[in-house]
Structure 1
């Protein structure tokens, strides 16, 4: 169960690109937060794999993300072997809101429009060595 007992989604990507992450629908009046986290690979390293752990805060009830790289991206819950493709834009994002109502192809453009930009400061962490 996502977000239960600290279990968060893991996004696995191949090659260079950016993971875009949105935290929205604050239950405490906090402004939406959006930003990118680049995969730390050289532009020509098309087979390099990066694993991102998506953090969360109990102040938000909505989370969405997408990958803009040339290579594939999949997400799963930590500890699970079941993986699904990641969205490719804010109009077709992967939504993992609180309560496990997973939404593939979620349109969150209106939430992004009101979000504070936090490029390279979003709550996404790179897992070293592919650990999870």
Structure 2
């Protein structure tokens, strides 16, 4: 199950672009948090792996890729991959405690979020970690 027992999505992207990440529906009264992290400048003809972190304070997470090439998500150790959304209106989304990751329109949650570009809980990781 994603977001439990330390299992967070890994997003593999192709080429330059940004991963946008939203944490929302705080169970502690915190505001929604949104931000992006940019693939390295050297990513023109390469892949970049992003690990999308989470906090037990939020119960909703969404992300999308705005790059020129495709992006796919998976859970570490799993061969199963799915495409990543390309905007907040068709973001890849997960709610805490569910086994389903789906496309969702989270524009309303983004409109109230505090911007944290380059400070969101998303990390660039090296290849071959699993």
| Bucket of the pairwise TM-score, normalised by the shorter protein | over 0.9
Q: How does the TM-score come out when normalised to structure 2?
A: 0.94
- The within-5 A match list for 1:1-132 is 1-42=1-42, 45-132=43-130
In structure 1, C-alpha distance between the alignment counterparts of 2:107 and 2:27, rounded to whole Å: 20
Structure 1 residue 101: deviation in Å? 4.8
**Counterpart secondary structure, 2:95:** coil
Q: How many residues align?
A: 130
Structure 1 residue 5: deviation in Å? 1.2
Alpha-carbon displacement from aligned partner over 1:93-128 (angstroms, at most 9, x marks no partner): 000111225343200000000000000000001112
Please, what is the CA RMSD of the aligned residues? 1.2
Task: Give the unaligned 5+ runs of structure 1.
Answer: none
Alpha-carbon displacement from aligned partner over 1:64-99 (angstroms, at most 9, x marks no partner): 000000001000111100000000000000001112
Q: How does the TM-score come out when normalised to structure 1?
A: 0.93
Structure 1 residue ranges, 4+ long, deviating more than 4 angstroms after superposition = none
- Structure 2 contact 2–99 (Cα < 8 Å) conserved: no
